[in-house]
Structure 1
Amino acid sequence: MHGESAVLLTIAWAIGLGLLAQILAHRFRLPAIVLLLAFGVTAGPYGLNLVHPSQLEEGLGILVKLAVAIILFEGALNLRLGDLRQAAREVRSLVTLGVLVSWVGGTLAALLIAGFPFPLALLFGALVTVTGPTVVQPLLKRMRVPRRLKTTLEGEAILIDPIGAILAVAVLDVVISIYGAEALTLWGAFWAYAGRLLVGGVVGYAGGAILSRLFKVRRLVPAELRNLVALAGVWLVFAIAESLLSEAGIMAAVAMGLSFQRGEVPEERRLRQFKEQLTVLGISLLFILLAANLRLEVIAAEGWRGVATVLALMFVVRPAAVYLAMRGSSFTWQEKLFIAWIGPRGIVAASVASLFALSLETAGFTDGERLLALTFLTIALTVTLQGLTANPIARLLGLKSTTGHRALVVGAGPLARYTARILEEHGRRVTVIDRNLSLVYAAQREGLEAHQGNALEEEVLERAGADEAESLLAATANPEVNVLTVQLAREAFNITRAYPVVDTPEKGAGPQLVEQVGGRIAFGRPIDIRDWEHALNYEPVETFVWAVPKEWPNVPLGEVRLPPELLPLVRIQGRNVEVAHSGQTWRKGERVVFLSRVPEAEALEALQRLAPVAQEE
């Protein structure tokens, strides 16, 4: 089959198989890139013969660049500049000294272990300096690690992509010039690297600033066209940078994303969601097309040398780069060790390696296919091993923590403020929202960050930081508002840990209402919130921290009949602090903060009596 039909089928098969791989990866909680690589190799000309990237000819390179522009812009758009400033020193060291050490180490590994010739080893070392935001960001989204640690890894992954990719392009220019007809001068070699970063940075920053200003002008760009205008803007800026200096578009895309978010554009969250969907589509399409060009026998030919080279990158080069770059950092040794382990490669390494293979073949190098094979082997092994072990290693190092992660508290009444203060005391970043200005002032007087607004409006939740919140407590005096707020938080912002306070059944918290919140009710059971707020204001209530005994039943809190005088507010699990809810199961070693309307001694005695009784049931 030739011509348009072959191109159409190739693209259709690539998109279909790519999205199927994404679905299966989500279903079985596997790194999507591993399945994408497997599907691509299987569907290519050397497998089932369904996908033929060669039919796209020069269009493949253009497709790669357009997709990479969206992927890098989206990654930069999701990087919070406020958080990045708190880890600026570590990120700066990782993308400068860390890149240099990774380049030297990767070159030596390819030279001494894989047996690459020096020019090819130099290229490979530059290629593997990048870590992929397309892998790192989804991985960290599923993990609860300290926010500064998360920001450091995300910042490195996003900023190192243009730095490492442009380094690799500059090295390619030097290699081809040395072994070609015209030698590159020292200034030419310097400009090949610094010039691309400078041109791309300036064009991208200007493009992001202009686009954000356009979006701020009321009624200039209709809401329904904003996503498409932003997409066109990203591609236009990328193309302008490329026309000024080849491969400068990579830096332009990242700079544009960072510049654009500084403008605080209205409804930026919807733009990010649109870009995230395009990123998933772009990654799916590209990995299938690029992997389809691989021949299994070429990968197999690398044998143990190839595997040993990748393991050297993971266990020697990456730890050495992190150690040298982070000397003097305030991070603990556990955090540094975790950073040293997380260095998966992604779509930028794959796309640049694919383009390099073609350039090397044109320049007369015969080992370009080996470079491509070892790069994809690096991607497959790092994503698989590090992606599957990140959670267990974080847990082993004691890094599973909610410290620094935002919690939203909707409602600024006495009980909501009381719970918010407890969360803050244990390291959570808390933001309180209420329509009542006097209650907002009361929260602010108590040292809480508080905003006035209706939490049933997406814009209000967005301004309060819902797009980066990990949990939400809806504790207004209206149970229906609480349930609707939880639904909005889950559907619009994907806050799965969202818990409403609901009233007693005779006051509206019937079975349908409980079903709407997924059965996870704040504080473990329906309560009369006004009654508890009255108690906080006018009764001698006490707060105490209770250690869960080994006899405590292994059942959800919603099935435990706690005394009505006791209200569990917060569960402390190591460095994780979360609102107590009916779906929680308490275990020995955990602690629970209780609010009690009876003396602490009497409350402790009631809990002690309850444990064996509940165990028998």
Structure 2
Amino acid sequence: MESLNLFLLIGTGLMFTGLLLGSLSARFGVPSLLIFLVVGMVAGEDGLGGIEFDDFSTAYVIGNIALAVILLDGGLRTRLSTFKLGLRPALSLATLGVAISAALVGAFTTWLIGVDWRVGLLLGGIIGSTDAAAVFSVIKGAGVTLNERVASTLEIESGLNDPMAIFITLMLVGLLVDPDAEWGIGMLVTLLQQFGLGALLGLLLGAVISEVLLRVRSNEGLHALLLCSGGAMVFAITNLVGGSGFLAVYLTGLVAGNRRGGTGDNVLKSMDSMAWLAQSGMFLILGLLVTPSRLTENLPWALAVAAFLMLLARPVSVWLSLLPFRFTWREEIFIAWTGLRGAVPIVLAVFPLLAGVEQTYLLFDITLVVVLISLLGQGASLRFVARKLKVSIPRTTEPKQTVALAAPSDRYLMQFEVEDGAKAVGKSLAELGEDERTPLILYRNKLVLSLSDDPKIEAGDLIAWLAPLSHKSGLSDLCHKLSSDEKRYYGDFSVLGKTPVAQLIAVYGVEAPPPLWQGLTVAEMFTKQVGKQAVVGDTVRVSGLRLRARSVENGTVVMAGLKLPG
């Protein structure tokens, strides 16, 4: 009994310390995941705690379970429109990008350290993919809102790239264990099987779980547990039949999060807690595995590999992978810099250890240093780099509450409080309603006003709207006045997407309009210049005017900010 209590005390004490330091570290821009990793290292055999933990099999199991929960939570929060926007570039990064990064790192490691080319390429496969836990957590904790094209590409890439990294790692482990093994067409079939079965089972079983959740009557806390256990089942089933469990569980979350009726705020909050528990526990365990005294022996090699990956291999792979897509050079540089490494490379580094491959501790130590440098250097600088490269946008005010309807629908109940100076002040609800958004309730001084009287809206009113999530930014724009940051970013004036460009130039322009824009609306001009899918923050210039997309629905600019010359 004493040993049980001691075990609980140590485990909960480490978790409590990590959570406490993690909450404080956010003020200084240090990723909380790095804090948990360091707490584990300090508690380990070379640290103050002196805890000897070298059970790589247990760490591997815990890492897989935790990653499944984190990917499920990430999928739940990815809107289908966002997924469609970022899928093609993310898939290119998750396949071609990982292969290029692995090849470049492998060649560099072989040349630098003088190891067998298979060992060098194995290291490239281990650290070649970005990590979902790191990407989701660091972007969320950085306090910066990225434009949707960049954010969706980064998040979806981290959810899709595990099959390629696992394929390269297992292929090289097999070659090192049995150099005479055949690995041609069979390994390619394995890769296709990982992607194919992962995608198929993730979508199919995700739809089944969604239907179960719709039909089961239980409180939202139990819904979160059902969802989490269902996701773990999908992960296990897919792995058992030879598919990618990581890809499957991410797609399960995507399907469940976008199902008819959606996922309520309370379910997402419960899942957020589970994801935090998973990633904090995982990084604590991985930190305990680290032996700093051995780590210092390989530190020069590790620092060189980390610098090569961050400054050359990742940027080259991003540039080549995104060539067919319309990303600006600023967006490409930011995507290259945000190739965060985290738990996935460490878990992959356990593969050769369990297989008994030579020089595996060298690979493990280099991987740990790469993860530490990535979280500390790239993760901590994310906000600064995003603002310097102008890929961040001002945060819009979120609804006070968002509630998914129990009935099958893509509508949500969203509550906004009207600020003094907002566009809605002085107008009636009838003037603000549209086909897809309907004002349902108007609260004033804790009383519900009758909508039949068509009352005028006042500052401080609380309005409950029934609308799709795509209308959230538009409703926020109605109910809240622009902040100083938003005015600087978008400009002092707003124009509707349906405004003719010629009319705009006639009023504000300082130069003659080019023939190209004759007869086009502002929305059509954005589509022509930035592509089919515009996102908030996209910028076009015409006749000395700067227009920046403020509100976008289904890839079409609904409203743009206008900045005059000078």
Q: TM-score, normalised by structure 1?
A: 0.65
Q: Which residue of 2 aligns with 1:83?
A: 82
1:179-225 deviation per Cα after TM superposition (whole angstroms, max 9, x unaligned): 4xx825534423443323333333322221111011222x5444342
Change (3 A) 1:243 1:380: same
Q: Which residue of 2 aligns with 1:103?
A: 102
Structure 1 residue 397 displacement after superposition: 2.5
Partner SS state of residue 398, structure 1: coil
Q: Which residue of 1 aligns with 2:351?
A: 356
Gapped regions of structure 1 (runs ≥ 5): 421-433, 457-474, 487-492, 503-519, 525-543, 546-571, 580-589, 594-617
Structure 1 residue 577 displacement after superposition: 9.3
1:50-78 deviation per Cα after TM superposition (whole angstroms, max 9, x unaligned): 54434x67544332222111011111222
1:460-518 deviation per Cα after TM superposition (whole angstroms, max 9, x unaligned): xxxxxxxxxxxxxxx97244434x989xxxxxx9xxx999779xxxxxxxxxxxxxxxx
Q: Distance in 1 between matches of 2:168 and 2:4?
A: 34
Say whether residues 1:229 and 2:216 are aligned partners.
no
Structure 1 residue corresponding to 2:440, chosen from 453, 459, 464: 453
8 Å CA contact 1:401–1:576 kept in 2: the answer is: no
1:511-538 deviation per Cα after TM superposition (whole angstroms, max 9, x unaligned): xxxxxxxxx99x99xxxxxxxxxxxxxx
Q: Distance in 1 between matches of 2:139 and 2:48?
A: 35
Partner SS state of residue 239, structure 2: helix
Change (3 A) 1:58 1:34: closer
Change (3 A) 1:78 1:110: farther
Partner SS state of residue 345, structure 1: coil
Gapped regions of structure 2 (runs ≥ 5): 400-413, 444-454, 466-471, 488-506, 509-538, 540-545, 552-560
Say whether residues 1:378 and 2:373 are aligned partners.
no
8 Å CA contact 2:342–2:371 kept in 1: the answer is: yes
Structure 1 residue 124 displacement after superposition: 1.2
Q: Which residue of 2 aligns with 1:193?
A: 191
Say whether residues 1:325 and 2:321 are aligned partners.
yes
Structure 1 residue 44 displacement after superposition: 0.6
8 Å CA contact 2:315–2:336 kept in 1: the answer is: yes
The AA in structure 1 aligned to 2:232 is W
Q: Distance in 1 between matches of 2:230 and 2:310?
A: 38
Change (3 A) 1:75 1:172: farther
Structure 1 residue 40 displacement after superposition: 1.4
Q: Which residue of 1 aligns with 2:408?
A: none
1:104-135 deviation per Cα after TM superposition (whole angstroms, max 9, x unaligned): 11212222224443232222111122112322
Q: Distance in 2 between matches of 1:3 and 1:117?
A: 45
The AA in structure 2 aligned to 1:295 is T
Structure 1 residue corresponding to 2:360, chosen from 352, 355, 368: 368
Q: Distance in 1 between matches of 2:456 and 2:114?
A: 66
Structure 1 residue 272 displacement after superposition: 2.3
Please show how residues 396-545 of structure 1 align to structure 2 within 5 Å: 396-402=388-394, 410=416, 436=429, 438-441=430-433, 443=434, 450-454=437-441, 477-482=457-462
Please show how residues 553-564 of structure 1 align to structure 2 within 5 Å: none
Q: Which residue of 1 aligns with 2:71?
A: 72
Q: Distance in 2 between matches of 1:40 and 1:331?
A: 39
Q: Distance in 2 between matches of 1:377 and 1:2?
A: 37
Q: Distance in 2 between matches of 1:50 and 1:5?
A: 18
Q: What is the identity percentage for the equivalent residue pairs of Structure 1 and Structure 2?
A: 22
Structure 1 residue 241 displacement after superposition: 2.2
Q: Distance in 1 between matches of 2:258 and 2:364?
A: 37
Structure 1 residue corresponding to 2:267, chosen from 243, 265, 271: 271
8 Å CA contact 1:412–1:439 kept in 2: the answer is: no
Say whether residues 1:170 and 2:170 are aligned partners.
yes
Change (3 A) 1:119 1:143: same
The AA in structure 2 aligned to 1:319 is P
The AA in structure 2 aligned to 1:359 is L
Partner SS state of residue 146, structure 2: coil
Q: TM-score, normalised by structure 2?
A: 0.70
Structure 2 residue corresponding to 1:288, chosen from 281, 284, 288: 284
Structure 1 residue 294 displacement after superposition: 1.2
Change (3 A) 1:6 1:50: farther
Structure 1 residue 172 displacement after superposition: 4.5
Say whether residues 1:209 and 2:200 are aligned partners.
no
The AA in structure 1 aligned to 2:438 is H
Q: Distance in 2 between matches of 1:123 and 1:316?
A: 18
The AA in structure 2 aligned to 1:46 is D
User: For the pair shown, which has the larger CA radius of gyration, 1 or 2?
Assistant: 1
Change (3 A) 1:92 1:203: closer
The AA in structure 2 aligned to 1:75 is G
Structure 1 residue 340 displacement after superposition: 1.6
Change (3 A) 1:406 1:47: closer
Q: Which residue of 2 aligns with 1:549?
A: none
Q: Which residue of 2 aligns with 1:151?
A: 152
Change (3 A) 1:118 1:592: closer
Structure 1 residue 418 displacement after superposition: 7.2
Q: Which residue of 1 aligns with 2:239?
A: 242
Change (3 A) 1:288 1:575: farther
1:5-25 deviation per Cα after TM superposition (whole angstroms, max 9, x unaligned): 675455334423432342232
Q: Which residue of 1 aligns with 2:299?
A: 303
8 Å CA contact 1:44–1:51 kept in 2: the answer is: yes
Q: Distance in 1 between matches of 2:22 and 2:477?
A: 26
Q: Distance in 1 between matches of 2:336 and 2:56?
A: 39
Q: Distance in 2 between matches of 1:297 and 1:158?
A: 34
- Report 1 or 2 for greater relative contact order, CA contacts < 8 Å, sequence distance ≥ 6: 2
8 Å CA contact 2:256–2:262 kept in 1: the answer is: no
Q: Which residue of 1 aligns with 2:249?
A: 253
Q: Distance in 2 between matches of 1:5 and 1:404?
A: 47
Partner SS state of residue 87, structure 1: helix
Q: Distance in 1 between matches of 2:284 and 2:221?
A: 31
Change (3 A) 1:237 1:14: farther
Q: Distance in 2 between matches of 1:280 and 1:480?
A: 35
The AA in structure 2 aligned to 1:279 is A
| RMSD (Å) for aligned C-alpha atoms | 4.2
Q: Distance in 2 between matches of 1:406 and 1:159?
A: 29
Of stretches 66-75 and 164-173 in structure 1, the one that deviates more from structure 2 is: 164-173
Change (3 A) 1:412 1:297: closer
Q: Which residue of 2 aligns with 1:31?
A: 31
Q: Which residue of 1 aligns with 2:402?
A: none
Q: Which residue of 2 aligns with 1:427?
A: none
The AA in structure 2 aligned to 1:370 is L
Structure 1 residue 46 displacement after superposition: 2.1
Q: Distance in 2 between matches of 1:39 and 1:22?
A: 10
Change (3 A) 1:476 1:197: farther
